[in-house]
Structure 1
Amino acid sequence: MTKRLIIVIVGCGVVFGAIFGMKWFGNKMMNDFVDAMPIPPATIGAGKVQTMTWDNRLEAVGSFVPVNGTDVTTEAGGIVTAIHFESGQKVKKGTPLLTLDSARERGEYERLKAQAELSELNRVRREKLFKLEAISKSDYDAAATEANAARAAVQSQAGVLAQKEIRAPFDGLLGIRRVNVGQYLSAGTAIVTLQSLDPIDLDFTLPEQYVGQAQPGFKVTVNVDSYADQSFTGEVLAVEPRIDSATRNFGLRARLPNPDLKLRAGQFGRVTLTLPGNRSLLVLPRTAVSYDSYGTSVFVVLKKKEDPNAPKPKEMPGAPAGPTTDLIVEQRFIKVGEARGDFVAVVDGIKEGEQVATSGLLKLRNGQPVIINNEGAPQPRLDPKPAEG
């Protein structure tokens, strides 16, 4: 029994040893095959880093504001008896907009007016008597003072009466009417919006480092989403002399002609401020740049360097042939500046003439073999436009 048990144990050991040995040998051959397999090259588009001369300009965003704009309100309360305008109407300064009930105020005005006339007659009589030395100078002065007070009361009541007639404070375009005939309005109730839109102002901000460059009179070009194929031009009207301590920006106001009233108050605009002179910058295609949380980088295309001391990979029967390219990519972090059109300026991290990958970035990593194929790829432009047709 003991011999049989030993024979069985030895036999099992030989069988399992052979199985595990074959498994190990197979895995080793598989690993050697994979290690000998070259990394397949990725097909990419590529562009060169080059020097360009750009006109000196700054870009910002801003909001349009009216030269004059307000919600027309009432100074006094009352019931609306007449409305003299329509929503969206253009009006001139002084145009009647709305009339409030003024019967009581008008009656008081007529009473004060009659009282002022009587006071003036009394003053004239007292003046004649004073000249005849029939009354004292103090009696005449009292009559004159009473007449002056009566005239002042009439003027005051005339002002109250004028508050019942609301007029346009300046030329402009009316908005949507917010009141109706017969409605009671309390003092300060908004009647309609009035905006002066031709010309129109644009407020925007720039970082503090440009405070010495931006000056009144410089030209601005503005684009808005409502008219994507049209640009609006104007010039800087004023530069804020104070820098905001919270944002470290300073404000500017530009004024633009707006005869067609296409631009409206509160509208968003992209501003290009033109400065004197030109700048020479190092640029690369914008599609080459990867923006990540850990930095801004590009893949630089380089010639693969062969190390004579490096061990050669084992050749395995049946393994595919190596890559047919001597180009690889290297990821490099850079510092970018202003972007314009299809290009972005490079401040640091790359040199003129170097080649960078512009497409297929998602399949790249350090040391990745690449094949460049720019056939059919659109050429980057400073002023890209949508393709026609």
Structure 2
Amino acid sequence: MPPTAVETAMVNVDQATDTLHAVGTLRADESVVIRPELPGRIEKIHFDEGQRVSRGDPLFSLDASLIRAELREAEANLALSRTSFDRADDLIGQKLIAQADYDNARSRQAVDEARLSSAQTRLSKTVIEAPFDGVLGLRHVSAGDYAEIGQELVNLVKLDPVKVDFRVPEVHLSLVAPGQAIEVRLDAFPGEAFRGEVLAIDPQIDLGGRSVVLRAVLPNPELKLRPGLFARLNLEVEQRENALLIPEQALWPQGERQFVYRVEDGQARLIEVETGIRRAGQVEIVSGLSAGDEIVTAGQLKLFDGAKVAPVPPAASAAAGRGN
């Protein structure tokens, strides 16, 4: 009986990386809706929509004319109460006024100091500043509008870095940890891959889906990535150097056991193997084979343990199959 034509490959030594796959949604590192703490007419808008701003940059100025008048009044009242208290302080030492009058003078000064501080605080709040570095969205008001306390004025988001939340099954919890590398791909940028790392792991398990939420962070210096984008993630959870790798199609499963045909002196020997990490088109062999072993990758249907084989290139193997 002539030997069976088969395709073969050598057991290769390479790095094997175990990867978890997940999906998630991008979110801003920081996000806030800018709202006034005081009511007032919007006197000036200091930015353009979509503009990058730094922490402390002025965004809106409210009409502060009434508050400035209150501030001047508070300053005048405080000056008067201080003069009155200084006079009372001199007189109490000479026992020329009652203790109650002295206490009243001191109390009036304290009240006027508080009123001045309140007016100064209110004046400072008429200029609304950016609380952090970020990018402004579309404003909801115009100069001249009257803004109420808590009214939405504009959104501010911090886009560098961006975060992405995703879930992995609870059975993989022991494989994940902060600092692990991730690769993110987005439909909005086909063909591009973005690198980041795991930032944190939620301490609670989702009982409904038996999963755990992870949060990763991605550098975004060009501000290409935007909150809300759908993301596909690859999370590298384990990496082994000098792993034995074979083509996945070389595996010959029988029940729950895995076998391969190893070529020895022109014969196919059925060898049981233990598999490990799988990656695109390849699988790690933990036991059963050695580096450099020749294994059958196509033509196993015609084989049995001890069958004679003739390794041929893929095209020749296909032609031999058609001839049979």
TM-score normalised by L of structure 2:
0.70
> Map of 1:172-211 to 2, 5 A cutoff?
172-211=134-173
Paired with 1:153 and 1:339, the residues of 2 have a C-alpha distance of 71
Paired with 1:280 and 1:166, the residues of 2 have a C-alpha distance of 62
Instruction: State which of 107, 116, 135 in structure 1 corresponds to 2:97.
Output: 135
| Greater radius of gyration (CA) | 1
* 1:236 maps to amino acid: V
Unpaired runs of at least 5, structure 2:
1-5, 250-276, 285-294, 301-313, 316-324
State whether residues 175 and 238 of structure 2, in contact with CA within 8 Å, keep that contact through their aligned partners in structure 1: no
Task: Give the corresponding residue for 2:121.
Answer: 159
CA deviations on 1:140-184 (whole Å, 9 max, x unpaired) are 222112111111112122222222211111111111222111112
Task: Give the corresponding residue for 2:216.
Answer: 254
CA deviations on 1:45-65 (whole Å, 9 max, x unpaired) are x999x9998411211111222
Task: Give the corresponding residue for 1:263.
Answer: 225
Task: Give the corresponding residue for 2:70.
Answer: 108
Task: Give the corresponding residue for 1:146.
Answer: 108
State whether residues 31 and 158 of structure 2, in contact with CA within 8 Å, keep that contact through their aligned partners in structure 1: yes
State whether residues 162 and 219 of structure 2, in contact with CA within 8 Å, keep that contact through their aligned partners in structure 1: yes
Paired with 2:208 and 2:245, the residues of 1 have a C-alpha distance of 31
* 1:116 maps to amino acid: L
Pair 1:213-2:213 in alignment: no
Paired with 1:192 and 1:127, the residues of 2 have a C-alpha distance of 52
State whether residues 236 and 255 of structure 1, in contact with CA within 8 Å, keep that contact through their aligned partners in structure 2: yes
Pair 1:171-2:107 in alignment: no
Paired with 2:299 and 2:154, the residues of 1 have a C-alpha distance of 58
Pair 1:80-2:42 in alignment: yes
Change (3 A) 1:353 1:139: farther
* 1:203 maps to amino acid: D
| Count of aligned positions | 257
CA deviations on 1:10-68 (whole Å, 9 max, x unpaired) are xxxxxxxxxxxxxxxxxxxxxxxxxxxxxxxxxxxx999x9998411211111222221
> Map of 1:1-389 to 2, 5 A cutoff?
54-278=16-240, 284=248, 341=280
Flag the structure with higher strand content. Answer: 2
Give the CA deviation at 1:280.
Answer: 7.8
Paired with 1:210 and 1:281, the residues of 2 have a C-alpha distance of 23
* 1:225 maps to amino acid: D
**CA RMSD for the aligned pairs?**
3.2
Paired with 2:165 and 2:66, the residues of 1 have a C-alpha distance of 46
Give the CA deviation at 1:355.
Answer: 6.0
Aligned sequence identity (%): 34
Give the CA deviation at 1:356.
Answer: 9.4
Paired with 1:58 and 1:75, the residues of 2 have a C-alpha distance of 46
Paired with 1:203 and 1:90, the residues of 2 have a C-alpha distance of 25
Give the CA deviation at 1:117.
Answer: 1.8
State whether residues 220 and 236 of structure 1, in contact with CA within 8 Å, keep that contact through their aligned partners in structure 2: yes
Secondary structure of 1:130's aligned partner: helix
Paired with 2:188 and 2:181, the residues of 1 have a C-alpha distance of 22
Change (3 A) 1:342 1:72: farther
Higher relative contact order (CA 8 A, sep 6+): 2
State whether residues 47 and 284 of structure 1, in contact with CA within 8 Å, keep that contact through their aligned partners in structure 2: no
CA deviations on 1:348-379 (whole Å, 9 max, x unpaired) are xxxx968699xxxxxxxxxxxxxxxx76xxxx
* 2:52 maps to amino acid: K
* 2:110 maps to amino acid: N
Unpaired runs of at least 5, structure 1:
1-45, 286-337, 346-351, 358-373, 376-389
Change (3 A) 1:356 1:140: farther
Change (3 A) 1:103 1:89: same
Change (3 A) 1:259 1:183: same
Paired with 1:119 and 1:196, the residues of 2 have a C-alpha distance of 47
